[in-house]
Amino acid sequence: MTSLTLSDPRPSPPLKTRRVMPGFGLTMGITLVYLSLIVLIPLAGVFFKASGLGWDGFWHAISTPRVFNALKLSFGAAFFAAVFNAVFGLLVAWVFVRYEFFGKRVLDAAIDLPFALPTAVAGIALTALYSGNGWIGQFLEPLGIKVAFTPIGVVVALMFIGLPFVVRTVQPVLEEAEKELEEAAAVLGATRFQTAVRVILPTIAPSLLTGFALAFARGVGEYGSVIFIAGNLPMVSEIAPLLIIIKLEEFDYRGATAVAAAMLIISFVMLLAINLLQGWSRKK
């Protein structure tokens, strides 16, 4: 052991300077500069501005009934749409992965339509479909269900926007699920339903939760597809992002910033909670 300590008296150079791959300084430099200029500094501006309001100013700006209702609608509608998407997204992913039927490949590609279709286009198309004389609205109207220009319309638009998030997170997990697990359950005497509930669902639950979170987060901030179908009635069907725009148009920068900051904070807290939940379920 002593000989070891005696040999090699030179300190080895710090690891940092010994990179095999070239270009770290250049690419990291580009990344950090661009990221800071485009994203970090402007985003920090929101919080800087919001903190300029002080706690009282901030609370004053967001505690009006109109802001409160807008936030409630944005988060509530996004939540219901995400729940709905979790159910139907799971169904669609299941059908795509497990069954063969005519037109499957085309439909599989069409799942990404809400990603590819500009939100404004989706918005006016959904409005045309669900308004009182639209293709779908004309059947719902007599039943007393008004979709367009009500909070239900907001949920419908967010369902459209959020669907691919769930399908595309659950699909690969279902594809890779070991079929031995289901066979093992069957051999042990479980019915197909018991297998689905006790074996398959717990296996894909983390990905389902991720898909839910993604759809939810997207729904909270969504603007383009919602404003056409929502009707934008203050206190009733006015979403938070629209309120930001209205306040900006009134040159109420402080009010707009306060709403934006509130949205960012609530989203952040909810995503944190979902992440914790996921970490907890993964540990099991």
Residue 185 touches other proteins, criterion: CB under 8 A: yes
Let me know the angle formed at the C-alpha of 281 by 71 and 188, rounded to the nearest 5 degrees: 130
Residue 153 touches other proteins, criterion: CB under 8 A: no
- According to CB under 8 A, which residues from 19 to 78 bind other proteins? 19-24, 26-28, 30-31, 34-35, 38-40, 42-43, 45-46, 49
CA distances from 228 to 79, 116, 140, 148, 232 (A): 20, 18, 19, 9, 8
- Count the neighbouring beta carbons within 10 Å of the beta carbon of residue 107: 13
Work out how close the CB of 143 gets to other proteins at its nearest, in angstroms, rounded to a whole number: 16
Whole-angstrom distance, CA of residue 52 vs CA of residue 168 = 41
Residue 116 touches other proteins, criterion: CB under 8 A: yes
Work out how close the CB of 76 gets to other proteins at its nearest, in angstroms, rounded to a whole number: 16
Residue 276 touches other proteins, criterion: CB under 8 A: no
Work out how close the CB of 9 gets to other proteins at its nearest, in angstroms, rounded to a whole number: 28
Which one of residues 97, 117, 236, 274 is an interface residue with other proteins (CB under 8 A)? 117
Q: In this chain, which stretch among 5-13, 64-72, 141-149, 249-257 interacts with other proteins, using CB under 8 A? A: 249-257
Q: Which two structure tokens, joined as six digits, stand for 201?
A: 């669902």
HSE-CB of 225 using CA atoms within 13 angstroms: 26
Q: Which is nearer to other proteins, 59 or 183 (CB)?
A: 183
The answer to whether residues 167 and 93 touch, using CB atoms and an 8 Å cutoff, is yes
